[in-house]
Amino acid sequence: MKTTLNCGGKLLDLSTPRVMGIINTTPDSFYEPSRSQNIDQALRQAEQMLIDGAAILDIGGMSTRPGATLIDPETEQERILPLIKSLVKHFSEVIISVDTVYATTAQAAVDAGAGIINDVSAGKFDAQLLPTIAQLRVPYVLMHLQGTPDTMQQNPHYRHGVVPTVVQFLADKLAFLRQLGIHDVVIDPGFGFGKTTEHNYQLLKSLSVLQILGLPIMVGVSRKGMIWRTLGIDAKQALNGTTVVHTIALLNGATLLRVHDVKEAVEAIKLVELYKNSI
């Protein structure tokens, strides 16, 4: 399995699982504490995440929560580019991922210092995105999404089962990416993106199947509805449940955890790694 990524000249070692911390510059992301409305707040949040052990900071300028509508790339760039530049200035060694579906945003973000593009759409929303990724030569997070954010949770269903569908989708898309010359890829099954709670837990239980693709596996379950709805709480109360699901994901092959709470995710990785390596 591929264990290193060249992130704009910075090497990311994934021989053991790592953590990606979420920083949103949006007014409407589903988990309010992840939103940063000014540079100073975002820098403080970033500093704490790095202290707590984050290997990557994932910057988002557009919410893709269920029911969200896509904003224009110009607004997205106005939100994220000043932050990326400030992060590079204050934390020169940081690896920055940008959560976008737009080619122009990907280009501008990498020009500003980002080293990974994290795309929930698998290139479906902007025909120029994947060719742009190929030119930029930065790692690409390929995620499965059924539908669009504004419709994806309206009765999602899978005729041939969610696990075979997701695996086949990722395999087919990987073949296309390789034709374009995109080889540094992280795969993400897309928890909560066009899936029922049952679908999400079927994917979690079968996560190890994705290892046949030979690529790092990213899991984004942090404080999502598959946790808090199941427990009858809300997202703010879902940290303990998130840690439980992270533990299961790590035992089933997750390489990268995309999280709101870095410290707890790093602790989960340490304990799971000790368990897995014990004789």
Three-state SS for 98?
A: strand
User: At 156, is the pLDDT very low, low, confident or very high (cuts 50, 70, 90)?
Assistant: confident
Q: Say yes or no to pLDDT of 152 above 60.
A: no
Known catalytic residue at 65? no
Query: Over the Cα atoms of the chain, what is R_g?
Result: 17
pTM for the whole structure: 0.93
Query: pLDDT by residue (tens digit) across 173-184?
Result: 999 999 999 999
> Residue for token digits 């690409």?
140
Give the contacts of 92 (CB within 8 A, at least 6 positions apart). Answer: none
pLDDT above 90 covers a percentage of the chain that reads 82
In this prediction, residue 28 carries a pLDDT of 57
- 10-13 vs 4-7, strand pairing mode: antiparallel
Beta-strand ranges (E) seen in the chain are 4-7, 10-13, 18-24, 56-60, 95-99, 116-119, 140-143, 185-188, 218-219, 256-259
**Do 2 and 240 contact (CB within 8 A), yes or no?**
no
Spell out the residues 6+ positions from residue 122 whose beta carbon is closer than 8 angstroms to its own.
Answer: 142, 143, 144, 145, 169, 173
Q: How confident is the model at residue 130 (pLDDT cuts 50, 70, 90)?
A: very high
Of these residues, 65, 159, 258, 263, which one is catalytic?
Answer: 258
Check whether 34 has a pLDDT greater than 60: no
DSSP state letter for 145: -
> 3-class SS at 142?
strand
In this prediction, residue 228 carries a pLDDT of 97
Average pLDDT over residues 127-132: 98
pLDDT, mean over the chain = 92
Tokens of 29: 């992301």
User: Out of 145-154, 170-179, 198-207, 258-267, which region has the weakest mean confidence (pLDDT)?
Assistant: 145-154
Of 18, 173, 195, 224, which is the active-site residue? Answer: 224
Q: What is the pLDDT of residue 222?
A: 97
pLDDT score, position 33: 61
Which residues does 42 contact at the CB level (< 8 Å), separation at least 6? Answer: 23, 25, 36, 83, 86, 87
Instruction: Determine which of 104-108, 148-152, 167-171 has the lowest per-residue pLDDT on average.
Output: 148-152
Q: Is 224 a catalytic residue?
A: yes
Residue 75: what pLDDT? 93
Q: Find how far residue 162's CA is from the centre of its chain.
A: 19
Q: What are the percentages of helix, strand and coil residues in the chain, rounded to 5?
A: 45, 15, 40
Question: Which pLDDT belongs to residue 35?
Answer: 58
pLDDT in tens, 198-249: 999 999 999 999 999 999 999 999 999 999 999 999 999 999 999 999 999 9
Beta strand spans in 71-192 (E):
95-99, 116-119, 140-143, 185-188
